[in-house]
Chains A and B, each alone.
Chain A
Amino acid sequence: MKFLDEYRDREAAETLAAAIARTVTRPWTIMEVCGGQTHTIVKYGIDRILPGTLELVHGPGCPVCVTSLEMIDRAHAIASRPDVIFCSFGDMLRVPGTRGDLLELKSRGADVRVVYSPLDAVTLAAAHPDRQVVFFAIGFETTSPPNAMAVWLAKKRKLSNFSVLVSHVLVPPMLTALLEAPDNRVQGFLGPGHVCAVMGTAEYEPIARKYRVPIVVSGFEPLDLLQGVLHTVRQLESGRGEVENPYARAVRAEGNLASRRLVDDVFAICDRKWRGIGSIPASGLGLRPEYADFNAEMRFEIGGIETHESSLCISGQVLKGLKKPHHCPAFGKECTPGTPLGATMVSSEGACAAYHAYGRHLNVVELQPA
């Protein structure tokens, strides 16, 4: 158990790992949903200390990764306009679109800025009334309240030069899409802790019931993940499929009600295209008609976006838990974090980038299934 040497709660982790080993009697496949969880699992080798019949597959829970290429190209086209100050979270800047990434565009003179918060983009709009300030509003449910607050505040302050390019995604419809797929392998989920801190756990109940699948809300530290796995395998072994929340110290069942109300005021559910997966019905958020004036897609008409993805890349199968990064012939060769070919390599939280960061491309032979 070499990995545990690095971890300060080694003893507690070993106890949990032993309890998991005692519980498991059959093969099971569990997906961790959140990119932060994937990062921890790979760094600490949590997948490698679990019983061999228990497989962890890595879900599509990295919003940077699943933002569609069309949306990246649209961002690029808007940011290219001389009248625009284009604001984004730092991780979006290096994601390559068809015509390059936003960082390159910045180096060629476009006004592309990294902001810490969407509210900083609103402040920027107020300070530059002669420019158009556009914020790239991406993210899962965790990021929707701050982004909604930015739009709400811009409306309140009557800022006519602020708009958002929205590419929000939602976790529950994505879980449903995975479970509905004929080739689905996932039998249990480690739910995304901080998404649930905002949204609560109620919307997972019907999914757990309908598909009889355990959904266990988990944090992103090694002990949280091991505890989440233990709860999941206990359910699986006893034939239960329920929502459980052992991460109650951060997640309340109702989430943050004020945040949920604000998100509901500004955004409405819409279909969304996910990079590597394709369009999932009702899996995204878009601006409500009352906030249409702040929609960058309507303010700047961008036509003629055509994209194509690498034919080598298997990120769609990785995102659905069907394959692992090292099953891809391009992994660590044509495809690296510096030259990513697809969704799961473009951000550090993607499964391929995490495998690469912790050197798993160096010992591919050892990782091949026996």
Chain B
Amino acid sequence: MCLGIPGKVVETYREDDILMGEVNFGGVSKRVCLEHVPEARPDDYVLVHVGFALSRIDETEAGRVFAFLDEMNQLDELEEPPP
């Protein structure tokens, strides 16, 4: 569960004075804290762990890592929790 999942920044905004953003993970959209990757802009790729971006990564690496995590069934945390 310590793995970061790559996603694409769709938009950024400030909330409570913190940089947040909408990040798309292979079609699943999540609200993500971007405060520690302040250089992230829309269309950039970020490595996200439990709703928190740890670093920026390039598109090729993002695509490869995402495909691998999918193959390993390691994308569970993106699923909507049961009610």
Q: Judge whether A145 is part of the interface by a CB distance below 8 angstroms.
A: yes
A262 touches B36 (CB 8 A): yes
Q: Judge whether A117 is part of the interface by a CB distance below 8 angstroms.
A: yes
Binds B, one of A32-40, A311-319, A336-344: A32-40
Selected contact of B54 from candidates A117, A192, A256, CB within 8 Å: A256
| Interface mask (B3-25 → A, CB under 8 Å = 1, otherwise 0) | 11000000000001110000000
A220 contact set on B, CB distance < 8 A: 3
B1 contact set on A, CB distance < 8 A: 35, 62-64, 89, 91, 139, 143, 347, 349
A229 vs chain B, min Cβ distance (A): 18
A63 contact set on B, CB distance < 8 A: 1-2
Closest to A64 in B: B1
A36 contact set on B, CB distance < 8 A: 2-3, 74
B50 contact set on A, CB distance < 8 A: 89, 116-118, 143, 146
Q: How far is the CA of A262 from the CA of B35 in the complex (A)?
A: 11
Question: Helix, strand, loop or mixed for chain B's interface?
Answer: mixed
Q: Judge whether A119 is part of the interface by a CB distance below 8 angstroms.
A: yes
Q: Judge whether B61 is part of the interface by a CB distance below 8 angstroms.
A: yes
Closest to A33 in B: B2
A221 touches B68 (CB 8 A): yes
Chain A interfacial positions (CB closer than 8 Å to B): 34-36, 39-40, 43, 61-64, 89-91, 113-120, 139-140, 142-143, 145-146, 149, 153, 156-157, 192, 194-195, 197-198, 220-221, 249-250, 252, 256, 258-259, 262, 347, 349
Chain B interfacial positions (CB closer than 8 Å to A): 1-4, 16-18, 30-33, 35-36, 38, 47, 49-52, 54-55, 57, 61, 64-65, 68, 72, 74, 76-78, 81-82
